[in-house]
Amino acid sequence: MLVSAQRKLVECLCNFVKGNPRNQDEIIDYLPQLRKHLGNLKLPPSWSNDFTEDHKAKILITPGLNAEEVIVECLRNNVGVCQAKIPRDLLEEFGMLIDTHPDPSVCMQLELLQLMCLPEGIGTKAVPRNQSMVLDVLVSDSLKNFQTCIKEVFSSDANRNAHPERLVLLLAATICDGNVTTAALLQSKKISIDKTVAKMHALLVTICPGSYKELSGQSQMSRNAENTAVSDHKYFKALIIFLAEQLDVTAV
């Protein structure tokens, strides 16, 4: 019952800060308290003598209280919070939470990393300092699972990411606005323009197999269907956005 009440409180906090910069600024000052409730539910450090191992095994530690969402909503469209009130070690903590998940591409914590780079969303002004910090987390050797999933985004092998487009858009956020420093770091990690183009080509083969036939052998209806399939493909569209940012850095 206590855990249910705490989840309701966190839900109220999320609604309190959504779209309200004043409330976001107020709640983010309680970041140390919020951080105590990140991830799974915390088990007590000690137990009473009559609490058996069987009892302990029945305690559910997931889902957590969802304190992460409160922090994410404090960042959304709030450049001031992103620039001045989020410490680097919080990004590392979110990275570790993502790394423990079997499929990092579905983690809501990814949104915090993207908002740190682009508080007001894709197509808006980036925060260069945060881009560097976020990318340092993404390429950290300590996040083995996360690293593997990012590599799979550009691999020809089977992709276990349910939403690879989220990982691609996060990478795009780290280099947008012509950030040469972060783009160079990605290049050093073999995430290059060539890799992006190769993955786009591989996807096109599966999305539009008819495009590799003679145009004369395709009906207008078939071509229209393939165009629609491409425009609706989230993974492919994310790669286009990433490629555009890569080319923009090259132009710089």
Q: Tell which wins on pLDDT, 227 or 8.
A: 8
pLDDT digits (tens, 9 = 90+) for 52-107: 777 666 666 567 788 999 999 999 999 999 999 999 999 999 999 999 998 999 99
Strand, helix or coil for residue 10: helix
Query: Does 148 lie in the same domain as 74?
Result: no
Query: Does 229 lie in the same domain as 126?
Result: yes
pLDDT mean over 101-125: 92
Most confident of 1-15, 67-81, 224-238: 67-81
- Helix 164-175 with 144-153: angle, nearest 10 deg: 90
Q: Tell which wins on pLDDT, 44 or 167.
A: 167
Closest CA to 69 of 9, 14, 7: 14
Query: Does 91 lie in the same domain as 73?
Result: no
Query: Does 215 lie in the same domain as 136?
Result: yes
Confidence label for 220 from pLDDT (cuts 50, 70 and 90): low
Query: Does 37 lie in the same domain as 66?
Result: yes
Percentage of the residues of the chain whose pLDDT score is greater than 90: 62
One DSSP character per residue, 210-231 reads: GGGS-GGGS-HHHHHHHHHHHH
pLDDT digits (tens, 9 = 90+) for 171-183: 999 999 999 999 9
Q: Report whether 73 contacts 25 (CB < 8 A).
A: no
C-alpha 5/C-alpha 13 separation (Å) is 13
C-alpha 183/C-alpha 128 separation (Å) is 12
Q: Tell which wins on pLDDT, 39 or 133.
A: 133
Q: Report whether 53 contacts 28 (CB < 8 A).
A: no
Q: Report whether 65 contacts 12 (CB < 8 A).
A: no
Query: Does 100 lie in the same domain as 55?
Result: no
* Cα 20 → chain centroid: 23
CA–CA distance from 120 to each of 49, 86, 190, 197 (Å)? 52, 16, 29, 28
Query: Does 154 lie in the same domain as 119?
Result: yes
Query: Does 213 lie in the same domain as 105?
Result: yes
pLDDT mean over 236-242: 95
Domain boundary among 21, 55, 78: 78
Domain boundary among 25, 60, 78: 78
Query: Does 162 lie in the same domain as 63?
Result: no
User: What pLDDT, on the 0 to 100 scale, is given for residue 215?
Assistant: 47
**Mean pLDDT of the chain, nearest integer:** 86
Tally of domains within the chain: 2
Closest CA to 95 of 165, 149, 160, 24: 149
The beta strands (E) that lie in 98-198 are given as: none
pLDDT mean over 32-58: 77
C-alpha 200/C-alpha 194 separation (Å) is 10
Query: Does 105 lie in the same domain as 30?
Result: no
Domain boundary among 78, 109, 131: 78
Q: At residue 46, does pLDDT exceed 50?
A: yes
User: What pLDDT, on the 0 to 100 scale, is given for residue 206?
Assistant: 84
Lowest mean pLDDT among 28-32, 207-211, 213-217: 213-217
Residues of the domain holding 48: 1-78
Query: Does 29 lie in the same domain as 100?
Result: no
Q: At residue 223, does pLDDT exceed 80?
A: no
Q: Report whether 139 contacts 151 (CB < 8 A).
A: no
Query: Does 231 lie in the same domain as 170?
Result: yes
Residue with tokens 């323009």: 193
- Expressed in angstroms, the distance from the first to the final Cα of the chain is 57
